[in-house]
Amino acid sequence: MPQYKYQVRNSAGQVQAGVVVADTIGTAAQILRNQGSHVLAINPLSAEQTRAALMQKLADLNAGRPKAKHVLDFTTQLAVMLRAGINLRSALDGIAEQTTHPGFKKVIMNLKQDVEGGKQFSQALQRYPKLFGPLYINMVRASEMAGNFSEMLDRIAGYIGQEIETRKMVIGAAIYPGVIGTMAVGVTVFLLTFVLPKFKGVFQGKEDALPWATTFLLGLSDFMVERWPLILGALFAIGAGFYAFTRTEVGSFWVDKSKLTIPIVKGMFRSLYISRSLQTMGQLVNAGVPMLDVLTITGDVSGNKLYQRLWASVHGSVKTGKKISNTLFKTTLLPQAVVQMISAGEESGKLGEVLDEISAYYAKQLKDQIKAVTSMIEPLMIVLMGSVVGFIAMAIILPIFKMSQIVK
C-alpha cells in the first residue's frame, strides 16, 4: 500500500510531520483530517523513500525506548550549555544533533518545537511523563519561577545519577544468586533426566534393597522423563498466574509487604525505600515545590505500596494543617530517630537540609547492606547447590556400594 509523507497542524496548534499509509492521497488527507489535524502538505513517497522510512522504523524498534541514562546525559548537557549562555532552543537543537538514540532525538526535537511555540519547558516535558517523571517536571517548574534553571538541572542530574547507581547495585546483588540458582536447577534437571535413567537397568529387580532416597529419585526421574510436557505446562501456568497476581492491587501489595518482612533482604529494601523517599522529598523541598505536591510525588516515586500509603496519609494530615512528623510518629516504616530529625527540621525551618543528610546516610547504609546480603546469599546458595547435587550423587552411589559388598 502507498505511503505519504505529511505535515499537519494539530488541534493544539503544533506542526507535526510523519508518514501515513493509504490507498490514495485523498484517503490519506481524510485520515489526517479525521484526527483533528489541518493538513499543510502531503506528498507520495518514492520506493526509495519508502524503503528508507521502513529502515528508520526498524532502527527505532531496535534502539528500544529511551532510558534513564539518556535523560541523565540530556540533563547534564543542557545544564552546561545554559550555563555557557546558550539559549534553550539552541541548546535543545545542539543536543538533538549529538544524540544517537533515534527515539530520544525525536523527543528532544518535539520539546524544541513546543518551546518555539511559546510553551514553558516544564509544560513541554509534560508530554513525556513516563520518561521525565513528576519529580523532574516539578523541579523544572520551580526553577522557572525562581530563575535558577541551570543550577536546578545540575541538582536533577545528581538525583538521576544516584537513582541509576542505586538500581545498578540492587540488580548487581540479585545477579549472583540468580546465576547460582539457575545452575542448581539446571544441574538437578540434567542429573534426574539424563544421568539417573542410565542407572535404572543396574537397579532393575533390586527395588526392595534400594534406599528410600534412591527409590524416590528413580520415581521422580521417571515422572520427569514421561510427563515433561505436563511439567512445563504447569510451570508456565504457575508463572503466568503469579505474574498476573502481582499485577493486581492485592498481589502488588503482598509483594511489597514481603520485601519488608523476608529476614535476609528486609533491611536492604527498607534502606532503599527510606533513602529514595527522603532524597526525593529533600530535593523537592529545596527546589521550593509546594509541600502537598512534594508529598504526592514522594509517594509516587517511593517504589513500595506501604510507603506510598504512608506518604498519602501524611498528605492528608498536612492538608488539614498538621505537621509532617505528626503522622510519621505513628508509623513503623520509619525509625523514630529519623522522625525526630524530621520534626527538628520542621521546627528549625531547615527541613530540606535535614532530609538531604538523612537520605545520604541511608544511601550509604544501603550500599553496606547490599554487600552484607550478597555475602550471606553466596554461601547459602553454594551450600544449597552442593546439598542437592550431593544428595543425588549419594542416592546413586550408596546402592551401588551395597551391591558390591553383597557380591563380595
Contacts of 33 (CB under 8 A, 6+ apart): 39
**Through-space distance between the first and last CA atoms of the chain, rounded to whole angstroms:** 83
Q: 265-295: per-residue pLDDT in tens? A: 888 899 989 998 998 898 888 888 889 988 9
Sheet architecture: strand order including 3-9: 15-21, 3-9, 38-44
Is residue 314 packed enough to be buried (19+ CB in 10 Å), middle (13-18) or exposed (0-12)?
buried
Cell (9 digits) for 211: 534406599
Q: In the CATH scheme, what is the code of domain 3-63?
A: 3.10.20
Identify the pLDDT of residue 207.
66
**DSSP-assigned beta bridge partners for residue 5:** 19, 43
pLDDT at 257: 93
275 within 8 A of 166, measured Cβ to Cβ: yes
Q: What is the pLDDT of residue 309?
A: 92
Closest CA to 42 of 30, 22, 25, 21: 25
d(CA 176, CA 172): 7
| pLDDT for the residue numbered 405 | 62
pLDDT of residue 63: 47
Residue 36: predicted pLDDT: 78
Q: What is the per-residue pLDDT for 62?
A: 45
Q: Which residues lie across from 18 on neighbouring strands?
A: 6
Q: What is the pLDDT of residue 342?
A: 92
**φ, ψ at 7 (rounded to 5°):** -135, 125
* 55 CB neighbour count, 10 Å cutoff: 10
pLDDT of residue 406: 58
The two domains 68-158 and 159-408 share their CATH topology (first three levels equal): yes
Pick the CATH number of 159-408 from 1.20.81.30, 3.30.360.10, 3.40.640.10, 1.10.3720.10: 1.20.81.30
Of the candidates 282, 331, 291, 344, which has an alpha carbon nearest to the alpha carbon of residue 315?
A: 291
CA distance linking residue 178 with residue 167, whole number of Å: 16
What's the burial of 358, exposed, middle or buried (CB within 10 Å: 0-12/13-18/19+)?
A: buried
Q: Where are the domains of the chain?
A: 3-63, 68-158, 159-408
Question: pLDDT tens track of the chain, all 408 residues?
Answer: 677 778 888 776 767 777 777 778 888 888 888 877 888 888 777 654 555 555 555 545 444 678 888 999 999 999 999 888 888 888 998 898 888 888 888 889 989 888 888 888 988 998 888 888 888 888 888 888 877 888 888 888 988 888 888 888 888 777 877 887 888 888 888 888 888 888 777 777 666 777 788 888 888 888 888 888 898 999 999 999 999 999 899 999 999 999 999 888 888 899 989 998 998 898 888 888 889 988 998 888 888 999 999 999 999 999 998 999 888 998 889 999 999 999 999 998 899 899 989 998 998 888 888 888 888 887 888 888 888 888 888 888 877 776 666 555
C-alpha cell at 391: 544428595
Residues 6+ apart with CB under 8 A from 132: 71, 125
CB 366 within 8 A of CB 271: yes
φ/ψ bin of 290: left (φ > 0), alpha (ψ from -120 to 50), beta (otherwise): beta
Q: Which of 281, 272, 297 is nearest to 356 (CA)?
A: 281
On whether the CB atoms of residues 283 and 135 are closer than 8 A, the answer is: yes
**Cα–Cα distance, 115 to 96 (Å, whole number):** 14
Residue 49's nearest CA partner among 100, 5, 17 is: 5
Q: Report yes or no: 275 and 165 within 8 Å, Cβ to Cβ.
A: no
The model carries a pTM of 0.72
Q: Compute the residue count for the chain.
A: 408
- Euclidean distance between CA atoms 26 and 34, whole angstroms: 12
Q: What does the pLDDT read at residue 404?
A: 65
What is the CATH superfamily name and number for domain 68-158? Answer: Type II secretion system (T2SS), domain F (1.20.81.30)
Per-residue burial over 132-150, b = 16 or more CB atoms within 10 Å of its CB, e = otherwise: bbbbbbbbbbbbeeeeebe
Measured in degrees and rounded to the nearest 5, phi and psi for residue 18 equal 180, -165
Q: Which three cell numbers stand for residue 45?
A: 513517497
